[in-house]
Amino acid sequence: MAAIDETSRRRGPYRKTEARRRDIIAAAQQVFASTGYRAGSLRDIGTVAGIDPSSILHHFPTKEALLEAVLEDKEKHDFEVLPALDDVDPHLVPRAMLELAERNSRVPHMIALYAILSAESTTAGHPSADYFRQRSERTRRDFRLLFQRMADAGLLADGVDVDYAATSTFAIWDGIQIHWLIEPDAVSVPETLRRHLRLITRVHNP
Amino acid sequence: MAAIDETSRRRGPYRKTEARRRDIIAAAQQVFASTGYRAGSLRDIGTVAGIDPSSILHHFPTKEALLEAVLEDKEKHDFEVLPALDDVDPHLVPRAMLELAERNSRVPHMIALYAILSAESTTAGHPSADYFRQRSERTRRDFRLLFQRMADAGLLADGVDVDYAATSTFAIWDGIQIHWLIEPDAVSVPETLRRHLRLITRVHNP
């Protein structure tokens, strides 16, 4: 019995700490998505999480460390999706991309978080500049690999090479997401992407 | 002579006030482009303009009024360009768009200003939400008019309608500008746009 009590004494606070970290990360996601990183204060994050701002610093030593945790969390979310893309039959690459776009449309706050942080990251001395540059390189590389598989299967349209397919798909996707955040009734992310993929590939009903 | 002195007494301070307003707007453009609107403080703007932050408020009663002046100023810059697009031979629409993209590439700080403010404007209660929604509607409408002229001349590619041409061109343009700010050596805005316009139109060497 003593051993069991000992264990729960150790587990209890650990579970609490983890739960508190999760709450803070969720609150920071919400605040950064609605004001950006620079203007998002620990005070606002504390208010959303329902804890004292000073106790945030027990869990994350700096606001930068908290930003890193927010981005790592999104990373995990992305990570669940990429293996499926990686493994896909070349005929199904467009469909897999559209499914990802449709899934993302159901989490508009994550799209907003990424839109605002990636734009903000281009400004001088921003702590997530490296993160967004690496994400950009990685996404373009992953898209190249996927479109290379399509090219090998003769599935790219005339006049479209792997590099253009990757660069244009990435650009139109990020661009239409911002336009959708600005005018949600005027544009559809999956529909715009679907028509783009129809034009650059030989898969006509993705 | 008295009359002339009187005039210069009135003109001198007026010219000075105008020059000071211009300096403040230029400083605010720089600060907002590098930190966004919410995080950009009057203190920072004062430092860049070389004037006391409190005297900014003599020229612009609120930070919001200053943001409006910054956006109106960019508007004038855009305004010089649009009549040329409006007036253009349908065969030359793609070329006119590419010339605009090339001109814009020479003012990356304006692209950064727009990228960060438009992303930030999608967040709750942002003072330029209306501005960016209206700009988005106007740009899509102007693009539709231009592509309609191309459609009337039989210049859109098979399977491309006016609405898709406008929506996709606007999206790929804004998207590739952000990617260019993040990875300036990896992508070219005019080249990506050129290839997109080649695919959606029958003008093969824009």
Same-domain check for residues A91 and A40: no
Same-domain check for residues A192 and A93: yes
B48 contact A CB<8A: no
CB contact under 8 A, B122 and A178: yes
Cβ atoms of A119 and B126 within 8 Å: the answer is: no
Selected residue with higher pLDDT from A101 and A163: A163
Same-domain check for residues B129 and B38: no
B interface mutation test: which of A42, A123, A189 has the most B CBs within 10 A? A123
Same-domain check for residues B160 and B191: yes
Q: What is the pLDDT of residues B85-122, one digit of tens each?
A: 567 789 999 998 998 888 888 888 888 888 888 888 88
Q: What is the pLDDT of residues A97-144, one digit of tens each?
A: 998 888 888 888 888 888 888 888 887 788 888 998 998 998 999 899
Residues 6+ apart with CB under 8 A from A55: A46
* DSSP assignment string, B56-118: HHHH-SSHHHHHHHHHHHHHHHHHTTHHHHHT--GGGHHHHHHHHHHHHHT-HHHHHHHHHHH
- In chain A, which residues have their Cβ closer than 8 Å to the Cβ of B181? 122
B174 contact A CB<8A: yes
Same-domain check for residues A59 and A102: no
Question: Does B129 have pLDDT greater than 60?
Answer: yes
**CATH number, domain containing residue B198:** 1.10.357.10
Classify residue A107: in a domain, yes or no: yes
Task: Quote ipTM for the complex.
Answer: 0.84
What's chain A's length in residues?
A: 206
Classify residue A127: in a domain, yes or no: yes
Same-domain check for residues A58 and A93: no
**CATH number, domain containing residue A49:** 1.10.10.60
User: How many CA atoms are closer than 13 Å to the CA of A91, on its beta-carbon side?
Assistant: 2
What is the number of domains present in chain B? 2
Same-domain check for residues A20 and A92: no
B47 contact A CB<8A: no
Classify residue A121: in a domain, yes or no: yes
Strand partners, B156: B201
Nearest-by-CA chain A residue for B161: A195
Cβ atoms of A166 and A144 within 8 Å: the answer is: yes
A118 contact B CB<8A: yes
Classify residue A4: in a domain, yes or no: yes
Same-domain check for residues A99 and A197: yes
Same-domain check for residues B162 and B93: yes
- Domain of residue A37, residue span: 1-66
B interface mutation test: which of A111, A122, A164, A174 has the most B CBs within 10 A? A122
Q: Pull the structure tokens for residue A139.
A: 């996404």
Instruction: Single out the residue of A125, A106, A129, A114 nearest to residue A170, CA to CA.
Output: A114
Q: How far, CA to CA in Å, does B86 sit from each of B96, B102, B145?
A: 10, 18, 8
